[in-house]
Amino acid sequence: MIIDRKRVIVSGGIVKIIKLAEEWYEDIEDANSFMIEIRKANVKADIFTFWQRMPETKPKYAYYRENESIAVLPIKGFNYWWNEQISAKTRNMVRKAEKNGVVIRETKFDDEFIRGLVEIFNESPYRQGKPFWHYGKDFETIKKQFANNIHREEIIGAYYDDRLIGFIMLAIAEKYAMTTQILSMMRHRDKAPTNALLARAVQICDAKNIPFLIYAMWSNKTLGSFKVHNGFERIDLPRYYIPLTIKGSIVLKLKLHHGAKEMVPGNIREMLLKIRRKWYMKVINGYGTDRAKAKDKEV
């Protein structure tokens, strides 16, 4: 659906929430005017949500809002990043990739690259301790899914022996650049391709005078630690929630707009997440054992 020349999407079950389909790339210039257009369109939604993109971190509206945290690397030049924003350990990881023969270069979204994506995605059904949602997808599916935003993305590939072992899709969003996809093969993790890919992304932002590089949402644990080691900082952006119906008003008042999971106390939610991680790790270890046995049989 198009409203005021912007594509919107409606999601949710009992409570319907409407937002910009491409909110990472578009701004709501005038929230009050956009609200009028939503009502004119008679959209079946209970809540309208939008946020302010970088670098606008100061709230502009009096609507109900919450902070949404993203991982941001301020770009002050590649040399500054190299010398001031990352640690000696991270610098050594970037050097390690080169010493191990990893070649980082810009590439194209062609059939050869897509075949490389399929191989990376199908390396394991699990990533970061949970099921990997791209696992099992074939060439045509991957090509269709990743072609949607390729007009605004630059692709950086990590190659070892001329074989794709990692990649970044770097989207240029006018006010900043952002990593829409970043992934490397687990069996080549010892060669540090992901660190080298991020280093090239910083070089590109520096060359294009792009002031910020965004690595999706702020996160904790392993991925969050990786972001911190590579110079990313937590930045809070205001996200607004505006009721469109009586149901929407009640849901916002009771703070139920994030769904049932937010009703679970934080300590219990963390306990359940730990149980889930242990279960997935058990499955992952079993999967690794099965693969090893299969290789032994092949030999």
**Could you tell me how far CA 94 lies from the centroid of its own chain?**
22
Is the separation of the CB atoms in 69 and 270 below 8 Å? Answer: no
pTM for this prediction: 0.86
Return all residues near 289 (Cβ < 8 A) that are at least 6 apart.
none
Rounded Cα distance, 87 and 291, in Å: 36
pLDDT in the model for residue 235: 97
What's the CA gap between 257 and 252, in Å, rounded? 6
- Return the closest-CA partner of residue 197 out of 120, 111, 130: 120
> Over the stretch 62-77, which tens digit does the pLDDT of each residue have?
999 999 999 999 999 9
126-183 tens-digit pLDDT? 887 778 889 999 999 999 999 988 889 999 999 999 999 999 999 999 899 999 999 9
Confidence label for 297 from pLDDT (cuts 50, 70 and 90): very low
- The answer to whether 217 and 191 have CB atoms below 8 angstroms apart is no
pLDDT at 250: 95
Asked if residue 294 has pLDDT above 90, the reply is no
pLDDT band at 187 (very low <50, low <70, confident <90, very high): very high
pLDDT in tens, 219-274: 877 788 999 999 999 999 999 999 999 999 999 999 888 876 655 665 676 676 66
What's residue 265's pLDDT?
Answer: 63
User: CA-CA distance, 88 to 273, in Å (whole number)?
Assistant: 33
